[in-house]
Amino acid sequence: MDWFLIITTLIKIVVVVFLAILPSVAYSVYFERRVSAWIQDRLGPNRVGPLGLLQPIADGLKFLLKEDVTPGHVNKFYFWLAPALVLVPALVTCAVLPFGSEMQLPLWLQDLIGTKANIPMVIADLDTGPLFIFAISSLGVYGIVLAGWASNSKYPFLGGVRSSSQMISYEIALGLSIVPLLMIYGDLHLGKIVAAQAKEGWSLLPFWTEGHAFAFDLKKIALAVPVGISFIVFMTAIFAETNRVPFDLAECETELVGGYHTEYSSMKFALFFLGEYAAMIVGSCFAVTLFFGGWTLPFGLSAQQLGAVGPGIALFQFLTLFIKVFLFVLFFIWVRWTLPRFRYDQLMRLGWVWLFEIALVNIILTAGLLIAFR
Amino acid sequence: MATKLVERPKLNFFEKIYLSSILHGLALTFGHIVRLFRGKTKVVMQYPEEKWDSNLPEYYRGAPALVTDEHGRERCVACQLCEFICPPRAITITPEEIPNNDPWAKVEKRPKAFEIDMIRCIYCGMCEEVCPEQAIFLRKDYAITGESRAEMVHDKRKLYEIGGVRTGLVNKWNELK
Amino acid sequence: MADTDPNKPAVPLLNVQIDGEWYQFPKGTRMIEACKQVGREVPHYCYHPKLTSPGNCRMCLVEMGMPPRPKPGEEAPLDAEGKPVIQWMPRPVIACANTVADNMGIRTDSNLTRLCREGVMEFLLINHPLDCPICDQAGECRLQEFSVEHGSGMSRFREEKVKKPKNVDIGPRIRLDDERCIMCSRCIRFCEEIVDDKVLGFTERGSHTTLAVHPGKRLENNYSLNTADICPVGALTSNDFRFQMRVWFLKETESINVDCGTGINVTIHSREGKVYRVTPRENNEVNSCWMPDSHRLSFHSIESPDRLTDPMVRVGATHRQARWKDAYAQIPEALSKLDASQIAIVASARMTNEELFSVKRLAGLLKVAALDVVPRMGESDGYLIAADRNPNTTGAQLVLGVQQPGSQLASIRAGVEAGSIKALLVFGEDLTEAAGWPEESLKKLKFLLAVHTHANPTAAAADVVLPSAAWAEKRGSMINVTGRLQRLSAAIPVPGQARDDWEILRDLTLGLTGSNGVHGVDDVFRLMAAAIPAFNGLSLQKIGNQGIALLETGVRIPLLERERERRAKGMING
């Protein structure tokens, strides 16, 4: 049985990381450029391939072929380690995100490999999903701090320091913001949270119950208020965690040239780039899982698919999640090209004075509502 | 210096949480996307196919170049004032003496080498402004490309090639000496 | 401005009012010098403090006045401060040829002086060509400078300009452009008064006055380039510096010349690590304002293709480039096998005191007694070039303790040829050229170290060759023939992998001892100041640009002696 688990897990990792996340990273860069162009009344990259769709491949080739400069004044070991430390945690967090229910292998395949076991559509089926995500994603800050420090240059250093204090500050709000959800679902298993949403309505769209496509439950609608607050705090904190505008003070060009990756070039720079977008995608995926029902369809349409499903349905579930995440990524991009950058003191004030307090009050509010509707 | 105190606008609670402003901003940018897709936005020029060359204004500052006068004499006398004024230090001149058998030997001095590093050049036009001999002009060439740093350095031959002949300028060296 | 030198005979001080302020000057001071001393520079072309004043440029016109002579029995009228009231003369006087008188008044910025200067400038510019773009003087041209201050910016001259010869070859090192000449006659006076070579003069007097050399003669004395220095415009320019570099790019470094024992004070003009010219710097105790052409042009050897740029070690019959570390490592290795009596050191009196001191320390550590420098005696030219062609013989005597330079050289050579001296360390000298040793005798050595700037037969025979810094590349001090301690400054960086001599010597010493606390050439001087009483209390900083009279050797510089005579006679004032 072990070899079956190992092989399916490996296949899942390859599929998720190399067929889903990394290509979507490349294409989110493409969309970033296209959408920003549209917002600014331009066209964006439209030369390479039809509609410029091969642009990410050209970019990737360019990154690979660029001269890889390691400046003489850097601390070589940490300088080389830092890009990997940014990308790896972003990719590792996707291990606990469910992208479907359970896949039942076709009968001929079951006969061929001699097992009737189903494959859970998640790489690591942990009971502590959100905690795992927080634990791993907070490691990403080391990559940025090391990059800033190892570059031995003032702009990267300032960028690294800014970034680390920012990420540490917003991690608190991020962690506290999902506590209300955990209280409502009473579980830390992301798969079960998604299943509950499929049956009882998404956290932010609680308009159905099991067996009824449209139903209004006062308790759920009341609870949607703290969940909505949670969502706003969570999204703000995710923006800050992924160093996206309006929180990209770690790499703001006007002050710090390139911030922590000023001294990087070629593929090492590309790794930072990949890491940032991978974090954005995984963050979107996490948000979808918690607030918008993960891989499920709204209005109870997925209630029957919670058990084992065939490969076709599993693929459909995967695509559902993918489309939701894609919309989120578009939202990230949309925000980036709309909002101006915060000033650093405003950023710290927002994190510590507002989001932290709001998240705390929100927990109490949720607890109060849960008691009231018991 | 007069100090002007800027009154910060007083914001009410809803303005303070910024959410409405953020939503307003998002709506604004989304409006641009919509207008673009409805074809109501005039999109920028598609550069290599469409060019602005015929519309370049008279004062356009492109690549600096050296010019010869109507007698085919190189106007530059290597005074090195442009090298001195050049803010990014893009210009390097090596002067030499004009040999006695040259028809323009009375000018005495000319550039042996005149190099403008087009990677450094910022097209500011100071060289043109400072030139006492009206020898260097900013032409309308803007697509300066090369595959190596060395290729991006315009030498004397290239500079005269871009510059060509200019007539109607002051010709003080034509006086009998 | 009282003269505070107690050795000078007392000269009566006169009260002079300059631009409303009262000062005191010794009798005999020229008005232009008095104004200069109190910071009211009067523009001038023909006046030069070291030359007589013909007063022919008229640029230094100032307004002058004296108190009215009182009627018999009356007192001169005094103003509110008790000073005499001055009655200004209606016409201006030239400040360069008149001396100050008691209670004289001078106005350097009155309306009359301003008008005079503008008028003189307009006349001078009438025939001046618009050559500035090709003129080497541009940037340090007095005519340009005063045009900015006193010129009109436009010409009222409508006639044809006077044409004169241009680009005239008047000597091997000097080019003449007569159109640029403003007839100040400085060059004529210099040739006549300083170097006794009357080759220049004016011809075709009148509006076609032309500077020319005497028919059949050329301006080819060894001081001819000084005329280009004193020429206020670009009429006389140096052939060597012609069209090499514009002066405004040049970085000026104050140093001294090392071609003879006089130690002529110079300014090194360099740009981006290349020396373009060397000009004399005024020092009334050494070289006045002048310098011989031979010394001035010697800087070209710094850029010679023969320069050593990498340390080299011998491999078989040829040399191979080595890293400094590896080259250094060979030296203690070779020397440790030998007895102190088998080692000899030949240093150079062209080295600075600091370097010689380091050689002395090295010799002390190796316990080497056979130590000498190569003497270089020639003839004094009767002007500035000293008979001793080594710039630091006095320093070698004081620092290295070599009483009679060259006295041990013969015994060292005999030892080398006899085989009793097996290792020789040569610093900054080529023994075949300077001391006349045959190359064969160098081949008898077991170990030969050559530290030099240029490739030479000694280096070719050496086992280890270390490239060192030329005079324009290093900082240090030297003592000239008159006993004056002077300072060299680095104008340009050393070429390639070469290193400063003090650094090489420091590292050689380190190879033998370990740390010695020397981190810069100033540290070497500090050690030297502690070890040698004559240097007590001094530092490289304190030497300054004009040097310090350290010893009394009794040697005199002929040109300076004559200058003092002329000053005593009142012919010159500077």
Count other Cβ atoms within 10 Å, centred on residue C416.
23
Decide which of C282, C303, C324 is a domain's last residue.
C303
Assess if residue C507 is contained within a domain.
yes
Q: What angle do CA B117, B121, B127 make, to 5 degrees?
A: 100
Residue A213's pLDDT is: 66
Residue A170's pLDDT is: 86
* C44-59 mean pLDDT: 92
Give whichever of C42-46, C402-406, C520-524 has the largest mean pLDDT. Answer: C42-46
Binned at pLDDT 50, 70 and 90, residue C5 comes out as low
Above 90 in pLDDT, residue A41?
no
Assess if residue C269 is contained within a domain.
yes
| Contact: B177, C163; criterion CB under 8 Å | yes
**Claim to verify: residue C510 and residue C392 sit in the same structural domain:** yes
Q: How far apart are CA C199 and CA C191, in angstroms?
A: 7
Assess if residue C435 is contained within a domain.
yes
Residue B177's pLDDT is: 44
**Claim to verify: residue C331 and residue C298 sit in the same structural domain:** no
Determine contact, residues C323/C311, Cβ cutoff 8 Å. Answer: yes
Residues C105-121 pLDDT 10s: 999 999 999 999 999 99
Above 50 in pLDDT, residue C2?
no
Residues C418-467 pLDDT 10s: 989 999 999 999 998 888 888 888 888 999 999 999 999 999 999 999 99
Asked if C274 reaches chain B (Cβ–Cβ under 8 Å), the answer is no
Please give the full DSSP string across C314-370, using - where no structure is assigned: EETTEEEE--HHHHHHHHHHHHHTS-GGGEEEEE-TTS-HHHHHHHHHHHHHHT--E
Decide which of C254, C271, C303 is a domain's last residue.
C303
Q: How far apart are CA C2 and CA C123, in angstroms?
A: 38
Q: Is residue C286 helix, strand or coil?
A: coil
Contacts of A335 in chain B (CB under 8 A): 26
| Contact: A35, B43; criterion CB under 8 Å | no
Residue A300's pLDDT is: 64
Which carries the bigger pLDDT value, residue C93 or residue A190? C93
Q: How far apart are CA A194 and CA A187, in angstroms?
A: 11
Asked if A369 reaches chain B (Cβ–Cβ under 8 Å), the answer is no
Q: Is residue A10 helix, strand or coil?
A: helix
Assess if residue C7 is contained within a domain.
no
Q: How far apart are CA B125 and CA C140, in angstroms?
A: 26
Chains touching C (3+ CB pairs < 8 Å): B
Least CB-CB distance to B172: which of C130, C163, C248? C130
**Claim to verify: residue C272 and residue C176 sit in the same structural domain:** yes
Contacts of B77 in chain C (CB under 8 A): 133-134
Above 70 in pLDDT, residue A252?
no
- CATH number of the domain that residue C233 is part of: 3.30.70.20
| Contact: A38, B22; criterion CB under 8 Å | no
Residues C304-329 pLDDT 10s: 999 999 999 998 889 999 999 899 98
**Claim to verify: residue C345 and residue C474 sit in the same structural domain:** yes
Q: What is the mean pLDDT of chain A?
A: 82
Residue C244: enclosing H or E segment and its boundaries?
Answer: none
**Claim to verify: residue C172 and residue C281 sit in the same structural domain:** yes
* C406-424 mean pLDDT: 90
Above 60 in pLDDT, residue B83?
yes
- CATH number of the domain that residue C410 is part of: 3.40.50.740
Q: Which of B79, B91, B96 to mutate to test the interface with C (most CBs of C within 10 A)?
A: B79
Q: Which residues contact B93 (CB under 8 A, 6 or more apart)?
A: B78, B80, B82, B83, B111, B113, B114, B115
**Claim to verify: residue C255 and residue C362 sit in the same structural domain:** no
Residues C71-95 pLDDT 10s: 888 877 888 888 888 999 999 999 9
Above 60 in pLDDT, residue B131?
yes
Asked if B32 reaches chain A (Cβ–Cβ under 8 Å), the answer is yes
Tokens matching residue A305: 């698919």
Residue C9's pLDDT is: 56
Assess if residue C570 is contained within a domain.
no
Long-range CB contacts (within 8 A, 24+) of C535-542: C535/C353, C538/C485, C540/C475, C540/C476, C540/C477, C540/C487
pLDDT-wise least confident of A256-265, B63-72, C169-178: A256-265
**Claim to verify: residue C336 and residue C379 sit in the same structural domain:** yes
Assess if residue C193 is contained within a domain.
yes
Contacts of B42 in chain A (CB under 8 A): 41
Q: What angle do CA C252, C255, C259 make, to 5 degrees?
A: 125
User: What are the C-alpha distances in Å from B37 to residues A43, A288, A328?
Assistant: 10, 28, 21
Asked if B27 reaches chain A (Cβ–Cβ under 8 Å), the answer is no
Binned at pLDDT 50, 70 and 90, residue A276 comes out as confident
Determine contact, residues A112/A162, Cβ cutoff 8 Å. Answer: no
Decide which of C303, C335, C359 is a domain's last residue.
C303
Residue A93's pLDDT is: 86
Q: How far apart are CA C509 and CA C505, in angstroms?
A: 6
**Claim to verify: residue C344 and residue C212 sit in the same structural domain:** no
Task: For residue C75, give its domain range.
Answer: 13-109
Number of separate domains in chain C: 3
**Claim to verify: residue C460 and residue C381 sit in the same structural domain:** yes
3-state helix, strand, coil in chain C (%, to 5): 30, 20, 50
Q: What angle do CA C397, C545, C295 make, to 5 degrees?
A: 70
Residue A151's pLDDT is: 84
Quick one: angle between helices A266-291 and A311-336, nearest 10? 110
Q: What is the mean pLDDT of chain B?
A: 88
CA neighbours closer than 13 Å in the CB half-sphere of residue B76: 32
**Claim to verify: residue C290 and residue C405 sit in the same structural domain:** no
Above 70 in pLDDT, residue C1?
no
Which carries the bigger pLDDT value, residue C489 or residue B40? C489
Tokens matching residue C46: 């023909």
Q: Scanning the structure block, which residue is given the tokens 């590093």? A: B117
Write the DSSP symbol of residue A20. I
Quick one: angle between helices A266-291 and A76-92, nearest 10? 30
Asked if A335 reaches chain B (Cβ–Cβ under 8 Å), the answer is yes
Range 247-306 of A in CB contact (< 8 A) with B: none
Asked if A31 reaches chain B (Cβ–Cβ under 8 Å), the answer is no
Binned at pLDDT 50, 70 and 90, residue B67 comes out as very high
Determine contact, residues C451/C434, Cβ cutoff 8 Å. Answer: no
Above 90 in pLDDT, residue C187?
yes
Assess if residue C152 is contained within a domain.
no
Contacts of B132 in chain C (CB under 8 A): 132-133
* C158-181 mean pLDDT: 91
**Claim to verify: residue C185 and residue C46 sit in the same structural domain:** no
Residue A140's pLDDT is: 81
* C11-15 mean pLDDT: 89
Q: How far is CA A177 from the centre of its chain?
A: 15
Write the DSSP symbol of residue A178. T
Which residue on chain A is closest to B37 by alpha carbon? A38
Q: What is the mean pLDDT of chain C?
A: 91
Q: Is residue B33 helix, strand or coil?
A: helix
Chain B: nearest CA to C213, how far in angstroms?
Answer: 21
Task: Quickly count helices (H) and strands (E) in chain A.
Answer: 16, 3
Least CB-CB distance to C133: which of B132, B176, B177? B132
Residues C246-303 pLDDT 10s: 999 999 999 999 999 999 999 999 999 999 999 999 999 999 999 999 999 999 999 9
Residue A312's pLDDT is: 80
Residue B97: enclosing H or E segment and its boundaries?
Answer: strand B91-97
Report the phi/psi class of residue C62: left, alpha or beta, with left for phi > 0 and alpha for psi in -120 to 50.
Answer: beta
Assess if residue C262 is contained within a domain.
yes
- CATH number of the domain that residue C99 is part of: 3.10.20.740
Above 90 in pLDDT, residue A67?
no
Residues A89-137 pLDDT 10s: 888 888 888 887 777 777 777 777 777 777 777 788 888 888 888 888 8
Asked if A346 reaches chain B (Cβ–Cβ under 8 Å), the answer is no
Q: Quick one: CA dihedral B167, B168, B170, B175, positive or negative? A: positive
The values of phi and psi at residue C174, to 5°, are: -125, 140
Q: Which residues contact C17 (CB under 8 A, 6 or more apart)?
A: C23, C83, C86, C103, C104, C105, C106
**Claim to verify: residue C323 and residue C189 sit in the same structural domain:** no
Q: Scanning the structure block, which residue is given the tokens 């810094």? A: C469
Determine contact, residues A18/B12, Cβ cutoff 8 Å. Answer: no
pTM of the model: 0.75
Binned at pLDDT 50, 70 and 90, residue C3 comes out as very low
